[in-house]
Structures are given as structure tokens and as C-alpha cells.
Chains A and B, each alone.
Chain A
Amino acid sequence: MGILSKIFTWWDGATIGTSLWSSRNGKHVGTDAQGNRYFRSKKPDARGRERRWVIYAGANDASRVPAEWHGWLHHSYDDLPESHLPPPKIWEVDYTPNATGTLSAYRPKGALEQGGKRARATGDYEAWTPDA
């Protein structure tokens, strides 16, 4: 990510202001499998509660936060996921963010994005052509 896009864009990772603020007031507590970095504030806020936030590696899409970090971010629990959750089972699949609006979104059978091909349905017929 070049310095120019850091200055002029806001949709990937942190802006310069956020990065500066994070490095001065935040403490980096962990990174998830996708590379998203999680921070908490060094000092509690005005209501006496610590603030927690994430800087995404890539697109700023809230659904990219995996379940274990989601709980920590929302103060469901205070311990960091790796220290208090059981280790992941080998059969657990990797977390995938919400695919809606992306190329990998689910397309039903027969959708145009599937190439317009659909399963046979009642009423379909095979037209004759002279070459047949």
C-alpha cells in the first residue's frame, strides 16, 4: 500500500490518523489468521472502560472479524481468544467473511452469473433444427 493511497483512501486498513492514534494510545494485543490487528486503549475512556478496535489487513469489512475475536471486540469476554478459548479442532473450517456482493457470492442454479445454464424444468422442450 503506497503512501499516496494511505493519504487519499479510507477503505483499506487504517488511515494515517488512525494509525498514528493507534500507535500512540493503543496497545497491539493480537493478530488473527487473516492478518487483522487488534488493539486496546492504554487508558480507560471517560466512562472508565477500555476501548477495543481492529485495523483490517485489507478491506474494511466488519464481517472479516472471526467469531473468536468478535467476542473479545464486543466485550463479551476480556481474555484474549488464544488464551481462554479451546484450541481449534482439526475439522473446523477456516473462517470466511460474508461473500454477499463479491464474486464468490452464492448464485442459484440458472442465474445469469452461472452462465445462464439451469437444470431441466417442466415445460422445457428440445427444438428441432434442420441439421439434427
Chain B
Amino acid sequence: MPKVTVDGQELDVPDGATVLQACELAGKEIPRFCYHERLSIAGNCRMCLVEVKPGPPKPQASCALPAAEGQQIRTDTPMVKKAREGVMEFLLINHPLDCPICDQGGECDLQDQSVAYGRGASRYHEHKRAVTSKNMGPLIKTIMTRCIHCTRCVRFSEEVAGVDEIGALYRGENMQITTYLEQAAKHELSANVIDLCPVGALTSRPYAYEARPWELKKTMSIDVSDAVGANIRIDSRGREVLRALPRINDDVNEEWISDKARYQVDGLTRRRLDKVWIRKAGKLQASSWNEAFELIAAAKPGKDIAAVAGDMVDCETMFAARKLLNALGSNLVESRQTGMNYDVSNLAAVNFNTGFAEIENADAVLIVGSHVRWEAALLNVRLRKAAKSGAKIFLVGPEWETTYPAEFIGADVSVLHDLPAHVAEAMSKAERPAVILGGAALAKGALHPALALAAEWNLVRDGWNGFNVLHFSAARMGSLMLGFAQKGGMADIAAAKPKVVLSLGADEMDLEPFADALKVYIGHHGDKGAHGAEIILPAAAFTEKSGTYVNTEGRVQLADKAVFAPGDAREDWTILRALADALGVSVGFDSFEQLRAQMIAEVPALGHEAVADYGALPKADMSVKASGAMSYPIKDFYMTNPIARASAVMQQCSAELLHGEALPEAAE
């Protein structure tokens, strides 16, 4: 713990801290462009100059200077002020003064810092350098003349994303940032470089010229495109969501989000269900709420009613649906719409117990049946960190391109019963071993064999629980906590032959077994579920309602309502409440607050914004044998949910980045 003095204030800083971090601890703001907490130190922008004694009698770059015992650091001397002004002047030599037409305007580090630390006026009259813009794909728009060569984007793709896509050509003033051979940036986290870019060189292409940051209403929300539950900020203007940005949460998403989370939001304005539809004589026709409710009441469901929850619904909606069904005397609720029927009697066995932050410390990881890059791109970042600090990673399942050294040991799940000796040895000798079970493995019945391995390798030990199940639907853990599961999965629901099936945005379910039932789709997008329904009741998307979501770690998180649902669409719980009246039963809540209070009374864990405690792992049932070749449930990263499928940006990404179609682009 070195003791340093910052502007006369003495303080202890952690070992290995830099002078910049010491100044931050002392509450001094140090301007910077290239330095970023989550990236390696480059030290090439020179904006963080401070005066340090002992040392040479000149300003020093604080980001790259280790804090040492007895250092006298000054951030407020005339020398520092002059140095900052000088650096800023050099940076502005080649930076165009096009702030009025730049999308970064208003949230630009260069703009802010030149106001705070720059000279009042320019002394520069010569010509400025111009650089051709580079193609970085459908998501990243480049205006490379604005680039100040901080290399944050290069370091991000190399260090965090783990792909060598972005790099620099030439030297000095002629340096240019580009993608390799100007190909599109293709990985799942590519758009994070837009947030990292301190100037307007890399900006968001779908959001280009849409809005200024000060016009936007900011709403704290949770991403529902996968089960990571990344913390996002929804920026909206009027009734439209314009963009989604990551919020910092070191336990979940650090400060990244996947491209799907960021760019699927334009799907919220397309294919929207905004009125009630009823199928008459085989054809869906626009209708009214009353008619729809009368029709459902006329079906006299009694206790022959089932509810299937989709992948993006919030806990409140599911709770309201279950309340309605219970009031009618039914408990036919299910959320695993694709027909999986793994054992959910103990939720600890189907939870990501290690936690995203902790999995970085694992030293041996066995991933069974999960395409982590696509199912949880942010978890892949954590696994890469683990691999970089020496973890051995083994995978079972069809091969995919990992961003870290890893060994595929077979595509058939039966390999779990007969692991190669070196894998078994690495796992049993590891100090912090972890097993990650994906959806493909659960579908082949690998849960109990994996639990057996957990017992064998002693995955649960002091301060460490290495048994993990990685889900990929945002609603999954919440639905399981609310009891949205049958023993036999969807097959049980089909066997009960319900008269009415309520589909809460369930677009992946197989409708064939329910051919005779009255299928009521309560959702927000016209997708597969709506096409197969008899009655469509328009509901709110995740940005249009407050809700509780539980991510795959069992972390309970709250999302706020950003905008109103379009047209006649209503928040889901109000639809279910009105339906209860139409069916002549009482569900016991009249407001959202009452609904939430009842839900928390029943499942107390949903009342705390924290990781839920599911207790100890169950004993493995040794008689269960898993077998069969696994195949990943996600075939196309950009097309996994109805919002993304409706989104023009996601469709373009899918066509261009995954299927290699060269799309004609308008000349700029």
C-alpha cells in the first residue's frame, strides 16, 4: 500500500495502482482519451499529464506511471495546466471542427475536455489532415478524419472481444484505424467500440442523425435478448425507443452489451400488434377487446386452461397469468416452450451458481452443449478472461469458433460418462473447477450426469460453487421461480387437452398439439405465435412496462417503463386482470403495486434486487444416462426473438455478417 500525496492530500493507494488511479481516489479528475479501466494501458494520448516528484522535471503521463511510496503528485499547477492545453491543441490540429454535424456532439469526450482543459481560442491556420472512412459493417459508421488515435477500439477487439479485427496502419500523423482488409466487424460485441470511441470517429450507423443526447429520456432497463440480463439504458424520444446503451454493472455486464441487445430496439417499431384480432371463418379480422373477452368466456374453459410463457416476459406477467389459472382451478403453466423437460425440483441445479464475475477466477471449465458466444456473448468475455489467466477450457458439443484456447472433446453428450483422462484429471485437480451446461445438453438429459460429475469433482466447496446451467431466455429463471414448469414439460400440457391456451408471447412453441384449443396470443409482435392464434390480444414489449427479470445467475433485476405501448396495446397484467373479470373469477389484485406485493409475498426472493439463494445442489440420479448428438438451439445469433426478427438492422446483420450476402449500400 504505497502512500502518496495528491495536491497536498495524503492517501494510501492499492498496490499496483497507477498515478492516475491514485488521483481518482483522491477525487481529482484527470482528463484522458486513451486510458480505459477495462483495457490495457496505451499511454498514447498524453492528456493525463501531471507533475510528479521525485522524477524528471517535466509533466508525466499518469496513466502509465505506477504510484510509488512518497510520490508528490500535483494536478493543479501551472505546468499541468499548460501541458494539458498543449496536448489539446495538438489533438485539435487534425480534428475537424464539425461538431454541429457530428453524432457524438453532446456526448463527446474531446468536446467536453476541450471546454474544460483546452485553450480558449485556436492558433491554427494550416490545412488539416483528411482520412478516408473505412467500412466496418452495418453497425459501425466511421468518419476517420475525426480519429485521434487513442486505439481504444483496437485494444477492445484484441483484449475483450478476442478477435483481431480492428488494427492500425502506418505511423505518426499518417496512422489510420481500420478493419482487416476493410471487412465488417463481425463479432457479437462489435458495437461496443462505439461507446469506447472518445470522439465521433466510430458512431452508430442505425442511429446516425436520429437525435441529440439531450433530447432523449433515459430509462434504466434490463436487456431481454438473452439470459445474461445485461443492464441497459433505454434512450427514448416521445413514444419511440431510439437506442439502448449499456449501464455499468460489474457483476453482470461490466460495461458491454451484445450487438443484439443494442440494435434490436428498432424492431420495436415494426410488426407491432396494436389492435385486437379474432379469427373468423379462418381469417384474422380486426375486432374489439369486449368481443375477444366474450369469445374466451364463451369457450367456458373452466379448469381446462393452460398458459405458456415466452422467452421475454417479465415475472409480473407470469405471476398474473398463474393467478388467473389458479383462480380457474388449473395449474397448467409452462415456460420451456420448446418442449424441454429437465428436472426443476431444485432450482440450484438449473442455475448459474458461480456467477458471471466469479467465473473469471475458474481454473478449469467444462462447457457442455452451449454455444457461449451466441447464447451469452458477455459470458464469453468472462471465459476469455479466465482463459487468459490460465484456465483450461474444454467443450462438449459441435465446434464453434472460440475466442480463447479451448479443446472440443466430442459432439455427443454421452462423452460425459466417459471423459478423456486428461479432462477428468484437469477438472478433478483444479482448485476452482466449473461446469457449464447449456440448453443443448439439457435437451439431451445431461442434467443428472452433470450433477454426478459435480459430486465427483467436488464442484461445491468453500466459497466456490462451480455448477452452472446457462439458459438463453430472459424469462427462464423467473418462470421457474414462479413454478411455470410441468414435470413432463410441454408434453404434459398437450396431454391435458386444454380448451383454451394462453400464449404469453410464446413464439417458439409447437402449436400442433393444440389444434382443437382456443389459442389466445398475448404479445407485442406479429410473429409465429400470432399467425397461429385464434385471438390476438396486443400487449406491451419489455420497454413498455415495468417488470422484474431474473437472469441465469438467479439475479433479480428491475426494469422501468420507457415508453407507452402503441395503439390499443395494453400492459400484459391489465389484460390478464380484465380477462379474469370476463371469466368471472377474482385474482385479488387491482393495481400493479398489489400484483407485485402479492408476487413478493409468494416468492420473497423476487423482492430483493440480488442473487436469489436456491440452497444446495440436489443429489444426482445416477440411473439417468445422457446420449445423443447435441445441436445448439440458436441457429442465427441475430434472429432469436420476435423483436430481433422484426428489426431491419438485425435482418441486415444476419444477411451480411452470418450469411455473407453483399448488400448494396447507398453511396455516401
Contacts and interface: CB of A to CB of B under 8 A. Distances in A.
Interface stretch (A29-37, A57-65, A95-103, A123-131): A123-131
Given A132-B271, A132-B526, A127 B240 contact: no
B38 interface: no
Contact of B240 (A124, A129, A132): A124
A122 B277 contact: no
Interface string A90-127: 00000000000000000000000000000000111111
B270 A130 contact: no
A125 B284 contact: no
B273 A128 contact: yes
Say whether chain A's binding surface is mostly helix, strand, loop, or mixed: loop
Given A132-B271, A132-B526, A127 B566 contact: yes
Closest 4 CB pairs of A and B: A128-B526, A123-B239, A130-B284, A125-B269
Given A128-B526, A130-B283, A123 B238 contact: yes
B497 interface: no
Contacts of A123: 238-240
Contacts of B531: 130
A132 to B, nearest CB: 7
Interface residues of A, number: 10
Contacts of B323: none
Given A130-B283, A130-B284, A130-B531, A125 B526 contact: no
A127 B525 CA distance: 9
A32 to B, nearest CB: 45
17 contacts: A122-B237, A122-B238, A122-B240, A125-B269, A125-B270, A126-B269, A126-B272, A127-B274, A127-B275, A127-B567, A128-B272, A128-B530, A129-B526, A130-B277, A130-B284, A130-B526, A130-B530
Contacts of A122: 211, 237-240, 242
Contacts of B239: 122-123
Interface in A29-79: none
Contacts of B242: 122
Contacts of A127: 272-275, 566-567
Contacts of B283: 130
A13 B428 CA distance: 107
Interface of B: 211, 237-240, 242, 268-275, 277, 283-284, 525-526, 530-531, 566-567
Contacts of B270: 125-126
Given A130-B283, A130-B284, A130-B531, A124 B275 contact: no
B238 A125 contact: no
Nearest to B272: A125
A47 to B, nearest CB: 59
Contacts of A128: 271-274, 525-526, 530
Contacts of B211: 122
Contacts of A132: 271, 526
A52 B227 CA distance: 85
B260 to A, nearest CB: 20
Given A126-B269, A130-B277, 18 more contacts: A122-B238, A122-B239, A122-B242, A123-B239, A124-B240, A125-B240, A125-B268, A125-B566, A126-B272, A127-B272, A127-B274, A127-B275, A128-B273, A128-B274, A128-B526, A130-B284, A130-B530, A130-B531
Contacts of B530: 128, 130
B418 to A, nearest CB: 50
B51 to A, nearest CB: 49
Contacts of A129: 526
A61 to B, nearest CB: 42
Nearest to A128: B526
A126 B566 CA distance: 10
Contacts of A124: 240, 269
Contacts of B275: 127
A56 to B, nearest CB: 49
Contacts of A126: 269-272
A130 B268 CA distance: 18
Contacts of A130: 277, 283-284, 526, 530-531
A125 B563 CA distance: 13
Most buried by B among A128, A129, A130, A132: A128
A123 B284 CA distance: 26
A122 B277 CA distance: 26
A123 B271 CA distance: 14
A132 B527 CA distance: 10
A132 B283 CA distance: 13
A127 B277 CA distance: 12
B645 to A, nearest CB: 12
Nearest to A120: B269
Contacts of B272: 125-128
A118 to B, nearest CB: 15
Contacts of B526: 128-130, 132
A123 B567 CA distance: 11
A31 B242 CA distance: 60
Contacts of B237: 122
A4 to B, nearest CB: 56
B65 to A, nearest CB: 47
B275 to A, nearest CB: 7
Nearest to B286: A129
Nearest to A129: B526
Contacts of B284: 130
Nearest to B237: A122
A5 to B, nearest CB: 54
A129 B285 CA distance: 9
A64 B598 CA distance: 75
A101 B531 CA distance: 49
A3 to B, nearest CB: 61
A129 B526 CA distance: 8
Contacts of B277: 130
A128 to B, nearest CB: 3
A126 B274 CA distance: 9
A128 B275 CA distance: 9
Nearest to B239: A123
A46 to B, nearest CB: 63
A31 to B, nearest CB: 51
Nearest to B283: A130
A129 B239 CA distance: 21
